């Protein structure tokens, strides 16, 4: 569907004020120390604008038939201190801006904004704005960053995906991780088949065969999806492309600049069968099975078994020693590279991303890591009224 983002007034109409930026709060229905900490941060900065740079909610854990607006309302009601703090600041006229992340892409739709305001007991005029891609605060560009990560990139950042077209990382979370209680694999970018098998056997014991079977069923289905979803993906791109001019006007950037940003996005893994097949390590899985079959044939006296064993083992050695984890450090490196491109294309003085859960920095670039999963004090950025950002940690 085409996103009708809830920007209720032009950015130029927002009074200049200091801004707090956090990312990856990952609220769910479970108790959350991050929610309580964010409530304290909001309370201690009552006049600042609060910008959440994506993944405020963990909607990717929900089944596909769950309405996102209802999920967000349920989740926020599970954290009364934070809900109260947000309602108080919005009711007092202090803005809250929510950006879409890969775990809560639907946050940018007007229907979810309406449901959140209803839950908070606020009118439609409350200064809650939501956006599907990025916002600018002076010379600071703020974005979640999943657009530059192949496993989590949308087809188009201005068109909300469906259950049939959601990115590979989101699809695996919704279809395998959450239903099987396999939370150890949530965001486990560096898991390879061997390490994953060890984890499953250690963690699940007698349930391990069921978990492994569910993985193959899910992964195989996603490979098939990549093979047949081309027309639907092209239609999504076209719908998003039609919204480019409106979004460029909203953000105060020429549409040609947004087109440059589009070119920097990662090619989504779920768009191609080969990319999906390789990312899910089916080549190594089949090579391992072939090696086992070759060994069995060889032990039965079949000469061809040794050839099959040798070829399969050679491929495994080449693949594992030459590549290891195919995702190791890839998101972080891509986001660092993208930050330089965003600076060049838009003239931004600073680019702020999240998404990777790993803090990072370079001249003109800040990755906030994760507010929820921070090691030690929780990170945030404060942008003063002059547009100068400072990375800080919550005491």
Domains of the chain: 11-163+328-393 (3.60.21)
Block mean pLDDT (10 aa), the chain, length 395: 48 67 96 96 94 96 92 96 96 96 93 94 96 95 97 96 94 89 56 59 71 87 94 95 94 95 96 93 83 86 86 80 66 94 96 96 95 92 94 91
Residue 83 and residue 120 in contact, taking contact as beta carbons nearer than 8 Å = yes
pLDDT, position 180: 81
Structure tokens at 357: 């859960």
pLDDT, position 13: 44
DSSP string, 251-317: HT--HHHHHHHHHHS---GGG-HHHHHHHTTHHHHHHHHHHHHHHHHHHTT-HHHHHHHHHHHHHHH
Q: At what angle do helices 193-204 and 282-299 cross, to 10 degrees?
A: 80
- Mapped onto helix, strand or coil, the DSSP state of residue 163 is coil
pLDDT, position 313: 82
Residue 158 and residue 130 in contact, taking contact as beta carbons nearer than 8 Å = no
Rounded Cα distance between 164 and 19, Å, is 37
Which pairs with CB-CB distance under 8 Å and at least 24 residues apart come from 92-95? 92/46, 93/127, 94/17, 94/46, 94/47, 94/48, 94/49, 94/50, 94/127, 95/14, 95/17, 95/49, 95/50, 95/127, 95/128, 95/129
Q: Tell me whether residue 50 is exposed, middle or buried, using C-beta atoms within 10 angstroms of its C-beta: 0 to 12, 13 to 18, 19 or more.
A: buried
179 secondary structure, DSSP code? T
Rounded Cα distance between 264 and 145, Å, is 11
Phi, psi of 298 (to 5 degrees): -65, -40
- Name which of 390, 385, 1 is nearest 158 in CA terms: 1
Residue 181 and residue 199 in contact, taking contact as beta carbons nearer than 8 Å = no
Strands 128-131 and 134-137: unpaired
Residue 327 and residue 339 in contact, taking contact as beta carbons nearer than 8 Å = no
Beta bridge partners of 351: 141, 365
Q: Which helix (H) or strand (E) holds 244?
A: helix 244-251
Burial 120-157 (b: 16+ CB within 10 A, else e): bebeeebbbbbbbbbbbbbbbbbbbbbbbbbbbbbbbb
Rounded Cα distance between 375 and 275, Å, is 33
Burial 252-263 (b: 16+ CB within 10 A, else e): ebeeebbebbbe
- Mapped onto helix, strand or coil, the DSSP state of residue 30 is coil
Structure tokens at 273: 């069968």
Q: What's the CA angle centered on 36, arms 30 and 39, to 5 degrees?
A: 130
């Amino acid at each position: 569907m085409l996103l009708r983002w809830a920007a209720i007034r032009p950015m130029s109409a927002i009074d200049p004020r200091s801004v707090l930026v956090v990312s990856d709060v990952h609220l769910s229905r479970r108790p959350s120390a991050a929610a309580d900490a964010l409530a304290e941060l909001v309370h201690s900065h009552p006049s600042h604008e609060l910008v959440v740079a994506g993944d405020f909610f963990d909607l990717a854990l929900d089944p596909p038939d769950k309405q996102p607006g209802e999920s967000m309302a349920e989740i926020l009601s599970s954290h009364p201190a934070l809900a109260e703090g947000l309602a108080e600041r919005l009711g007092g006229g202090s803005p809250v801006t929510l950006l879409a992340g890969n775990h809560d892409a639907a946050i940018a739709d007007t229907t979810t904004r309406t449901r959140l305001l209803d839950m908070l007991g606020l009118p439609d005029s409350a200064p809650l704005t939501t956006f599907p891609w990025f916002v600018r605060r002076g010379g600071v560009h703020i974005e979640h960053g999943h657009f530059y990560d192949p496993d989590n990139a949308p087809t188009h950042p201005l068109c909300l995906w469906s259950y049939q077209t959601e990115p590979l990382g989101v699809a695996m979370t919704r279809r395998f991780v959450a239903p099987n209680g396999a939370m150890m694999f949530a965001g486990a970018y560096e898991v390879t088949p061997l390490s994953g098998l060890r984890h499953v056997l250690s963690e699940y014991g007698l349930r391990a065969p069921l978990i492994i079977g569910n993985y193959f069923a899910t992964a195989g289905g996603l490979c098939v999806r990549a093979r047949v979803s081309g027309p639907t993906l092209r239609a999504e791109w076209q719908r998003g492309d039609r919204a480019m001019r409106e979004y460029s006007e909203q953000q105060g950037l020429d549409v040609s600049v947004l087109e440059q940003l589009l070119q920097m996005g990662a090619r989504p893994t779920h768009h191609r069968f080969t990319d999906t097949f390789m990312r899910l390590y089916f080549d190594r899985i089949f090579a391992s099975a072939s090696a086992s079959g070759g060994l069995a044939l060889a032990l039965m006296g079949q000469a061809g078994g040794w050839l099959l064993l040798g070829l399969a083992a050679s491929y495994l050695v080449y693949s594992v020693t030459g590549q290891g984890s195919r995702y190791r450090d890839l998101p972080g490196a891509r986001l660092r590279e993208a930050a330089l491109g965003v600076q060049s294309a838009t003239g931004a003085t600073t680019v702020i991303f999240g998404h990777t859960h790993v803090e990072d920095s370079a001249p003109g670039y800040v990755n906030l890591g994760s507010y929820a999963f921070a090691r030690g004090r929780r990170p945030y950025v404060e942008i003063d009224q002059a547009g100068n950002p400072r990375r800080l940690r919550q005491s």
